[in-house]
Structure 1
Amino acid sequence: MAQNMQNMGHGNGNAPPQVDDWLRAIERQLEIAQCDDKEKVLYASGQLQGATLDWWDSFRFGRTETNPITWPEFRSAFCSHHVPARLMKLKKEFLALKQGSMTIAKYRDKFIQLSQYAPTKVDEDEKRQELFMEGLNNGLQYKLLSHTFASFQQLADKALVIENKRRHMEDKKRKF
């Protein structure tokens, strides 16, 4: 694997979430290889280098339980050691996200990007729609409140249509 875990450590808050990216890349590989729980831990731990390998050795030898380390246990311990502050910051950023001066497309993309850091807040389409709607500007929110949407995608699409129509009307006003 080309990704180097040696320099990973705690993020500075501005860097991309490298640990999360690494885990997602590893999990894609594990899914393709159809590894069982034990193989997942062996493969992932075999990819560690430098400080992360030191963490793994310490975690493994400091464990009092005799059962083999499961993938969920590895993943949880790895994340809590390497990224807890970063994830909490991104989760708070997601929950506080507002459209403001962003276009709907930009707001939607940022919403989707940050939603991965609060998975329980968007694990159902209805929750996802509700949070998206709460972040929209008041005028747009008001126009969409009287509608029920079958999916988050339909809500986002309708918001884009309304925004485009509003811009078109404003352009016409300026021409007169």
Structure 2
Amino acid sequence: MEQFFAAKTQLLTNLANTMAAMQAQMNNNNNNNNNNNQQQPLPRDKHREFMSHKPLTFSHSPDPLDADYWLKTVEKMLNITQCSNREKVLYASGHLEGPAADWWDAYTTTHANANGITWEEFRTNFRSHHIPSGLMKLKKKEFLDLKQGNMSLTEYRDKFVQLSHYAPEDIADDEQN
């Protein structure tokens, strides 16, 4: 019986030592992980950040300016999220539906390097497909012909800012003069 208790005591001692060693190992690993996390922050999940802004989807609209509004809104969210050129194209194109998604699928299928499409190329081709050039010219002309008239100064300023989007080269020229 004495041998039995001695063996049992030895077994419990070994088990306690093993548990203490495992606990020390776990504490050491946690300290290393904490040190690693402090040295190298976890990479940002830009897609999650972009999605947190609840971006609109775009399918089609009878008013072509809705397409322009969608593009401006999504671009603002992409810039806030600090997306790379490629991420901008992927995230924005992922929010196209219906006819707009069909256009994008056809565009990428016929593109020589679909993975190399830049944000500028996406934006330019999206606009040229969804917003008639004649409308863009009319909006630019409306900007160039803008007069305060009966508008208050605030209304005039707001209209100026809204329409200036259609004539960026004229704004740049004006600033350079």
- TM exceeding 0.5: yes
More helix by share: 2
Query: What residue ranges of structure 1 are gaps of 5+ in the alignment?
Result: 12-16, 131-176
**Structure 1's 9 and 46: CA in aligned 2 closer, same or farther, altered over 3 A?**
farther
**Structure 1's 106 and 72: CA in aligned 2 closer, same or farther, altered over 3 A?**
same
Aligned residue pairs total: 123
**Structure 1's 34 and 105: CA in aligned 2 closer, same or farther, altered over 3 A?**
closer
**Structure 1's 97 and 105: CA in aligned 2 closer, same or farther, altered over 3 A?**
same
Give CA-to-partner distance per residue, 1:75-115, whole Å, 9 cap, x none. 11111111123222111111111223333332222222211
SS of equivalent residue, structure 1 residue 88: helix
**Partner of 2:43 in structure 1?**
none
Shift of 1:121: 0.8
SS of equivalent residue, structure 2 residue 112: coil
Larger radius of gyration: 2
**Partner of 2:163 in structure 1?**
114
SS of equivalent residue, structure 1 residue 98: coil
Is 1:94–2:143 an aligned residue pair?
Answer: yes
**Structure 1's 10 and 51: CA in aligned 2 closer, same or farther, altered over 3 A?**
farther
Matched to 2:106, the amino acid is: S
1:67-82 alignment to 2 at 5 Å?
68-82=116-130
TM-score of the aligned structures, taking structure 1 as reference length: 0.61
Q: Extract structure 1 runs of 4+ deviating beyond 4 A.
A: none
- Quick one: percent identity of the two aligned structures? 44
CA RMSD of aligned residues (A): 2.4
Matched to 2:108, the amino acid is: R
Give CA-to-partner distance per residue, 1:105-147, whole Å, 9 cap, x none. 32222222211110111126xx26x9xxxxxxxxxxxxxxxxx
- Work out which structure has the larger RCO, using CA pairs closer than 8 Å and 6 or more positions apart in sequence: 1
Matched to 2:150, the amino acid is: S
Bigger mean CA deviation after superposition, 61-70 or 49-58: 61-70
SS of equivalent residue, structure 1 residue 47: coil
CA distance in structure 1 between the partners assigned to 2:69 and 2:100 by the alignment: 15
SS of equivalent residue, structure 1 residue 85: helix
Matched to 2:91, the amino acid is: Y
1:6-155 alignment to 2 at 5 Å?
6-8=59-61, 11=64, 17-65=65-113, 68-83=116-131, 84-123=133-172, 127=174
